Amino acid sequence: MSLGNVKKKHRVTYDSTLDEGFLVFKADGTARSFRPSKEGLFFSDVKNDVAHTFINTVDNNKTKYTIKEYSDAVCARSQNIIGRPNTQDFIKYMEFNMIPNCPVTKADIIRAKDIFGANIGALQGKTVRKKSTRVMTTIHELPTGITDHHRNVTLEVDIMYINEIPFVVTTSRFIHFHTVELIKNEKSATHIHQTSNTIISQTGF
């Protein structure tokens, strides 16, 4: 930073006999210290300072390029008038000459993303949750041979708990068909009713 520009907005003090180096006083009255590095340049150590967050701004990003390169990058943002394609698709349009007489190059597109960041318009409407495909279920009738052979079904019933919530668990002998059902309470009538429903579902009677 330029000391001349800093002192226009903040009070700056310096005493070569003190270890603090330059002290820059902020509007809230606090001061930030700038100490000399081994090379002699003054810096402010903010590695452990959670009160400061550094971000890249467009003004900072465009200083890496010439005026012509920045102007071409601005022109590259013309993707807004062709349906706001994402960067990869926009580059593909350029490489395959799908936009005749377009002055924008691949380098301009990449440079525009570096300076301005991702095109927000290209993201909107393309990252929303899409409706999932409906799951088709087909229920097949139990073959007659199985119903005749297993007309009498013996169920083994027990109760298990998940986070103190009761579930009735049934297992049929020979068929080895398992069911798990949530129950409202642990009364005998509830168990009998739930077991009866399980028998109906397994035998069809």
pLDDT tens track for 50-102? 555 555 567 777 778 888 888 888 888 776 667 777 788 888 888 888 888 88
* pTM for this prediction: 0.36
Selection from 158, 139, 133 nearest residue 201 by Cα: 139
Q: What is the pLDDT of residues 100-142, one digit of tens each?
A: 888 888 888 888 888 888 777 666 666 667 778 888 878 777 7
Residue 152 has pLDDT above 60, yes or no: yes
What is the mean predicted confidence (pLDDT) over 143-154?
Answer: 76
* 82 contacts 99 by C-beta, under 8 angstroms: yes
* 136 contacts 86 by C-beta, under 8 angstroms: no
Tokens of 87: 């960067």
Lowest-confidence segment of 23-32, 52-61, 69-78, 172-181 by average pLDDT = 52-61
Crossing angle between the packed helical segments 106-116 and 87-95, to the nearest 10 degrees:
160
Average pLDDT over the chain reads 77
